[in-house]
Chain A
């Protein structure tokens, strides 16, 4: 089996700050990490490879320094890494990103055998759109299985796959046929820690670097800024609320006094809420 996992390098958004004056993201010193959701996809891919045999190829589109994060994915046990990096990819939105990734997956297929499954994470923590996965699926004409919580069965021979998919209000159990694209839900598996040997292998492995041409992109107008139908017109910091919270001052007394003061403050501020509460409390 050949499995491709798309992983993205993202700035650790927990550590991002906005420049107080210019309102731009200050990336200085913000470490890059593997998009946390993609790790669940990678782990699932590694599990099925270990079970059914085959290889796992990881694919990233990003700047040259993304190589560091790819090496980390290799440490966990991926077999090969392809870094898609080219100036013409800069400024891609999700449509242009999925075009580039899908084209590269086509090339990966030509080079190392056609993939049976392409995994992506549920979404990224920087773009946060969850669109790239479906975009790739559509372009590759793979069956699309999003928000997969569990792969119940997978038979490379008959090409049948059964998954549990998180749907609105419940789980859908879906049967489909390889090749499929799966976007993996978070919390579905526990990440392994590579052995010393795989870490050593990864440290020395060569990350394959493809520019647009090597990846088989013929029309660069479909890439990057030019290939992106969406246009970011305006970036701004969220508006702070004009006034801060009204602090309920209570003398240091028993908590019950505090509690009564809180309730009084709530009802004073929102007189209608008491009847709502009565109605709700009655229902429960």
Chain B
């Protein structure tokens, strides 16, 4: 090990950034920005469209094409998906259609993706940081032996055509910008709702390139026995809700969560909470908002009795309007909320619900 034993860099930042080397010759042919399109059960996951929006900007900056990669069972259905990709900014779609790909499984999807990369050589590859995207990204990056930056919150191209991927570390206390200097493609995942949804450009079109999967069902060990969809009724739509009301420990008792739910209902939104509520079992895990929960981007976010720890903050900063209700005028949430009221949430919430109810029904009657 002695030859490799260089002083261990506690500040990895300084150590690594000085290591810039020339990009190896064989990687210089890598061109274009790709977005993996998560297509399941007839739907494109919105995160893929958000990434097309972001990928478009990167491609324009690099002056290259933006391609979507759609993988699935039926060529017809994938064609539909491809059309959507064009409308959201893709110039080109790589399509891999094979019955083996009916449900997501790591082995065939990794195979399809790595084959495509090795054949068409993209310089940037973006995936959604969903359970599917994270499962796939890790395998693809390891197979290709390239760098992968997870859960990015900002992507940019620097002066040397290199992807600068920014992400939170240490639970959001710090941000770091990561590059993959000497390997291609440069891979990154981005969580749903971190990037804004681009405008749909109806009628915009592009090219479809087909690629076949060189794999047989017998080669694949893992089988999907069943898929049990989440029941829609209790499934949190948090990430994509326009209005979100959330509670924190300031609610004091699990019963008071009702006040949050009622306001959310009157507003036609969804509800969630801070992590301690999940840990205490007051709400389900998929209703947690923040760094280790959901990132949300609603038009209105109402935080009741939430202190606004940095791990919570990173999940809600994309909201258009944040209203904080907290008894402590010095609570950190007031540092990033737009509107704040120093008040007891337990008594204000019902009043707010009632006031909204009246206001909305009056206006509805009027319109």
Contacts and interface: CB of A to CB of B under 8 A. Distances in A.
Given A258-B343, A270-B321, A281-B364, A16 B170 contact: yes
A134 B133 CA distance: 12
Contacts, number: 339
A231 B221 contact: no
B29 interface: no
Interface stretch (A51-59, A69-77, A193-201, A259-267): A259-267
A231 B4 contact: no
Interface string B317-360: 00011111000010001111111111100011011101110011
Contacts of A91: 8-9, 12, 15-16
B334 to A, nearest CB: 4
Contacts of B182: 229
Contacts of B177: 232-236
B228 A170 contact: yes
Interface in A156-210: 162, 164, 166-177, 186-187
A94 interface: yes
B147 A228 contact: yes
B142 A95 contact: yes
Contacts of B335: 240-241, 244-245
A172 B227 contact: yes
Given A223-B4, A281-B268, A232 B292 contact: no
Interface in B2-43: 3-6, 8-9, 11-13, 15-17, 19-20, 38, 40-41
Contact of A137 (B139, B149, B164): B139
Contacts of B148: 94-95, 129, 131, 230
Interface string A230-253: 111111111011001111101000
A201 to B, nearest CB: 30
B1 interface: yes
Interface of B: 1, 3-6, 8-9, 11-13, 15-17, 19-20, 38, 40-41, 45, 103-107, 110, 130-132, 134-135, 137-139, 141-143, 145-151, 164, 168-183, 221-230, 235, 242-243, 265-269, 285, 291-292, 299-300, 310, 313-314, 320-324, 329, 333-343, 347-348, 350-352, 354-356, 359-360, 363-364, 367
Minimum-distance CB pairs A-B, first 4: A134-B138, A280-B268, A229-B147, A245-B340
29 contacts: A87-B8, A91-B15, A94-B138, A94-B148, A95-B142, A95-B146, A129-B151, A133-B138, A166-B131, A169-B235, A170-B227, A170-B229, A175-B223, A225-B12, A230-B147, A232-B176, A233-B17, A234-B13, A238-B174, A245-B333, A247-B334, A247-B342, A255-B343, A259-B348, A262-B341, A262-B355, A273-B299, A278-B364, A281-B268
